[in-house]
Amino acid sequence: MIVCLRLPDFAVRLERERQPTLNNAPLLLSEQRGKRELVYAVCDRAWKQGVRPGMRLPGARALCPTANVVPAVESRYRRSFREDIRRLLDYTDRLEPEYRPLGPLCYLDFGSLRQEDILQLCEDIAHRFEAQVGVSGGKFAAFVAAVTSKAGVVASVPTGEEAAFIAPHPLTLLPTDRETARRFDLFGMKTLGQLASLPSGGVLAQFGKTGLELHRLACGEDWRRVLPYLPPRLECAGRAFETPLEDRLQIETALMEAAEGVLTRFDPRCEVARTLTLTVTFADGLVVEDTRTPRDGVESAALLFRLLSDGFSRLPIHAPIAALEVTLTDFAEVLPVQLALFEPPAEDGERFKLALEAAAFRQEGTPFYHAVTSGDGGYLPERQFRFEVAG
Amino acid sequence: MGDTKKLYKTISDINQRWDADVVTRGAVARNGARLSTGFAAVDALLDGGFPAGGLTALVGKPTSGATSLALSALAGTTGHAAALDPAARFDPVYATRLGVDLARLVIARPDNLLGALEIARHLVRAASLLLLDTPDPLPDEAVRRLLVDLRASDCVLLVIVPQADHVPVGASLVLHAERLLWLVDEEDVCGYRARVTVLRGRIVPAERAAEFEVYWGARGDTL
């Protein structure tokens, strides 16, 4: 049995927990994409008034003029979701998290547990996380059950009745791209049952292999498994200040300390961190973040400090700073590089050259090359390097 | 005085003061020693890396991680190396991205496998690493002749073959590489995670496995 857990209104709930005063009015979370301000997530009340994620903020404000607008900090929501995932690991290690702004999902597989025990665990999870929980033999049916259930309630789909259960639900629940959804609409299909009733050959002819996969899901045939979850590694270092800081020199000293602190957690000679996040909490409670992905990874305190300092300079500072946190993620092993300082001894080179000459003599006609990269960044591989005859 | 000279003088001073070979050049494997693969997990699996003076067969289809593993080891050696490339599959650009210094690498493109093995016999006593990527099985007799020279040398011989029944005779270590998943950075594929499993090993027990990740963009380039 597969369990789908959905955390409805996740971002909105987090913001309301952080600022209880936001409970009194509709809430919109906004995000900046380029020069546009868009709606990131909305509460139930704003949704009922027609506000949808992805809308432009002025339009959303026109639809819901009483709404409070708060800038969304997705990395904080993701971090909170990761904490929830860690707690879910107490139940099983077979789980697949999927972050979505409106409601993050997590599929769980309890293996060979009895169905009664699974339902008991689901009740516990639904209550603990205030989550919508769906239980079914397949991932998609479990997802539909979760999405259509109420928070804190477990919806179970009996084995063999997946197709009948999902049939009346809208096609928008399928994991489709916009174009496929538009074509479904042009064909007049609204529900999963309508798609399931079509012959698979016809769906394949019209929508290709992707359409056939969707057709199988609509028919309740879902053999996708839940893969084991490996928590991503992250290293954090930070500091909260009793007296919020305003002096740039003090802030930079704190950043340097954080950089040195976080670099003691791993060996930069063996691995580098490729994503760096600086989280700044202001005295008024507002949190802003700056995330960077340096090309060659973070491997030294000096480089980390330079990146942090640069990132800090770009943040809009409107109040004294109450806390700083540095997070490094996305660790990768350092690639070895042949060191120029350690040239092979001359006699090795001479020996190799003689061996090469002997081989070339015995294998007359065999070409021996040195490759030279051209460095002009040509797109075609043959323009990116050339061969020069060795010796 | 340049940095290199300073370094050599310092090394010389240390060796004179303490012992003749307190400081030696790293990553050049001696017979029986190991050459790091460049991936800590795989080194741990192989008890240090690829064996010097032995033949290591890497079994894997294209993009399975076998070539990346070989190139990563190549990047880790400070000696001379040669790529025997009868099928003309060696990609210098990819090798550079994995850290290989092309100036120290000779690429030979013989017409046939016998020619490749003959060249290997000549180079085996002078090179630190030989890489042979072949889609076809190697002739047993020629491999046995090569093994005689190889076992008396400090060279690491890596042979990449596409399937397990092409593994050459006398391989002291046989590894199977397979790609597990593509790594995606936003919308771009930036690498992959692969698993390497020991199929046969004289020192390393069979069936042990390790996973490693290969990033193409680590040097700031994209494919």
Summarised one tens digit per residue, pLDDT across range B117-148 is 988 988 888 888 999 999 888 988 889 888 88
Q: Which residues of B56-70 are buried (b: 16+ CB within 10 A; e: fewer)?
A: bbbbbeeebbbbbbb
Q: How far does B75 lie from chain A, in Å, by closest CA?
A: 5
Q: How far does A360 lie from chain B, in Å, by closest CA?
A: 8
pLDDT at A242 over 70: yes
pLDDT for the residue numbered B59: 94
Decide the pairing of beta strands A2-6 and A132-136.
Answer: antiparallel
pLDDT for the residue numbered A151: 82
Q: Do B215 and A332 count as a contact with CB atoms less than 8 A apart?
A: yes
pLDDT for the residue numbered B70: 92
Q: How confident is the model at residue B27 (pLDDT cuts 50, 70, 90)?
A: very low
Q: What is the mean pLDDT of residues A202-209?
A: 87
Among the listed residues A286, A327, A284, the one whose alpha carbon sits nearest the alpha carbon of residue A308: A327
Residues on chain A touching B4 (C-beta within 8 angstroms): 341, 343
Q: Do A335 and B125 count as a contact with CB atoms less than 8 A apart?
A: no
Q: How far does B59 lie from chain A, in Å, by closest CA?
A: 22
Residue to mutate among A298, A299, A342, with most B CBs inside 10 A, is A342
Q: What is the mean pLDDT of residues A356-364?
A: 81
Is there a contact between A340 and A358 (Cβ–Cβ < 8 Å)? no
Is there a contact between A166 and A218 (Cβ–Cβ < 8 Å)? yes
Judged by average pLDDT, the poorest of A1-5, A180-184, A264-268, A274-278 is A264-268
Judged by average pLDDT, the poorest of A28-42, A80-94, A141-155, B177-191 is B177-191
pLDDT at B56 over 90: yes
Q: Do B122 and A349 count as a contact with CB atoms less than 8 A apart?
A: no
pLDDT at B217 over 60: no
| B183 has a chain A CB within 8 A of its CB | no
Decide the pairing of beta strands A271-282 and A321-333.
Answer: antiparallel
| B40 has a chain A CB within 8 A of its CB | yes
Contacts 24+ apart (CB under 8 A), B205-212: B208/B45, B209/B45, B210/B39, B210/B41, B210/B42, B210/B44, B210/B45, B211/B41, B211/B180, B212/A333, B212/B39, B212/B41, B212/B42, B212/B65, B212/B69
Q: Do B107 and A270 count as a contact with CB atoms less than 8 A apart?
A: no
Q: Do B75 and A344 count as a contact with CB atoms less than 8 A apart?
A: no
pTM: 0.53
Judged by average pLDDT, the poorest of A367-376, B76-85, B168-177 is A367-376
Q: What is the mean pLDDT of residues B145-173?
A: 89
pLDDT at B67 over 50: yes
pLDDT for the residue numbered B87: 87
pLDDT for the residue numbered A382: 64
pLDDT for the residue numbered A343: 56
pLDDT for the residue numbered A181: 87
Strand partners of residue A7: none
pLDDT for the residue numbered B32: 61
Q: Do A335 and B119 count as a contact with CB atoms less than 8 A apart?
A: no
Nearest chain B residue to A294, by CA: B220
Q: How far does A365 lie from chain B, in Å, by closest CA?
A: 8
Among the listed residues B33, B60, B58, the one whose alpha carbon sits nearest the alpha carbon of residue B47: B33
**A363 vs B113: CA distance, rounded Å:** 12
Judged by average pLDDT, the poorest of A50-54, A263-267, A278-282, B69-73 is A263-267
pLDDT at A221 over 90: no
A9 or B31: which carries more pLDDT confidence? A9
pLDDT at A185 over 70: yes
Q: Which residues of A60-88 are buried (b: 16+ CB within 10 A; e: fewer)?
A: bbebbeebbbbebbbebbebbbeebbeeb
**B171 vs B3: CA distance, rounded Å:** 41
**B158 vs B171: CA distance, rounded Å:** 10
Among the listed residues B223, B196, B183, the one whose alpha carbon sits nearest the alpha carbon of residue B67: B196
Q: How confident is the model at residue A339 (pLDDT cuts 50, 70, 90)?
A: low
pLDDT for the residue numbered B156: 92
Q: How confident is the model at residue B88 (pLDDT cuts 50, 70, 90)?
A: confident
pLDDT at B179 over 60: yes
Is there a contact between A31 and A70 (Cβ–Cβ < 8 Å)? no
Sheet containing B105-108, strands listed edge to edge, beginning at the edge strand earlier in sequence: A385-389, A368-373, B105-108, B81-84, B129-133, B156-161, B54-59, B173-185, B188-201, B209-215
pLDDT for the residue numbered B158: 94
- Mean pLDDT, chain A, rounded, equals 83
Is there a contact between B161 and B137 (Cβ–Cβ < 8 Å)? yes
**A19 vs A39: CA distance, rounded Å:** 19
Q: How confident is the model at residue B69 (pLDDT cuts 50, 70, 90)?
A: very high
Residue to mutate among A291, A352, A374, A383, with most B CBs inside 10 A, is A352
Q: Do B106 and A348 count as a contact with CB atoms less than 8 A apart?
A: no
Q: What is the 3-state secondary structure (H, E, C) of B158-195?
A: EEEECCHHHCCCCCCEEEEEEEEEEEEECCEEEEEEEE
pLDDT at A324 over 50: yes
AA identity, residue A339? L
Residues on chain B touching A365 (C-beta within 8 angstroms): 111
**In B, residues 50-89, which contact A (CB 8 Å cutoff)?**
72, 75-80, 82
User: How far are the Cα atoms of A381, B38, B67, B193 from residue B210, in angstroms, in the given order?
Assistant: 31, 13, 16, 11
Residue to mutate among B80, B96, B113, B128, with most A CBs inside 10 A, is B80
ipTM for the whole predicted complex goes beyond 0.85? no
pLDDT at A377 over 60: no
Q: Which residues of A touch B (CB under 8 A)?
A: 270-271, 274, 293, 295-297, 332-333, 335-345, 348-349, 351-352, 354-356, 358-359, 362-363, 365-373, 381, 384-385, 387, 390
B193 or B26: which carries more pLDDT confidence? B193
pLDDT for the residue numbered B176: 93
Q: Do A352 and B123 count as a contact with CB atoms less than 8 A apart?
A: yes
What's CA A89's distance to the chain center, in Å? 18
pLDDT at B24 over 80: no
Among the listed residues A360, A364, A345, the one whose alpha carbon sits nearest the alpha carbon of residue B123: A360
Nearest chain B residue to A361, by CA: B119
pLDDT at B41 over 90: no
Strand partners of residue B108: A368, B84
Q: How confident is the model at residue A380 (pLDDT cuts 50, 70, 90)?
A: low
Q: How confident is the model at residue B219 (pLDDT cuts 50, 70, 90)?
A: very low
- SS3 for A90? coil
pLDDT at A212 over 50: yes
DSSP class per residue in B115-147: HHHHHHHHHTTT-SEEEEE-SSPPPHHHHHHHH
Q: How confident is the model at residue A318 (pLDDT cuts 50, 70, 90)?
A: confident
- Of A13-17, A301-305, B12-16, the range with the highest mean pLDDT is A13-17
pLDDT at B218 over 50: no
pLDDT for the residue numbered A375: 62
pLDDT at A316 over 50: yes
pLDDT at A329 over 60: yes
pLDDT at B204 over 50: yes
Q: What is the mean pLDDT of residues A229-255?
A: 84
pLDDT for the residue numbered A381: 63
pLDDT for the residue numbered B82: 92
Q: Do B98 and A358 count as a contact with CB atoms less than 8 A apart?
A: no
**A146 vs A169: CA distance, rounded Å:** 12
Select the residue of B80, B92, B219 nearest A385 (Cβ to Cβ): B92
Among the listed residues B149, B152, B116, the one whose alpha carbon sits nearest the alpha carbon of residue B134: B116
B185 phi and psi, to 5 degrees? -110, 105
Q: How far does A267 lie from chain B, in Å, by closest CA?
A: 12
Strand partners of residue B180: none
Q: How confident is the model at residue A24 (pLDDT cuts 50, 70, 90)?
A: confident
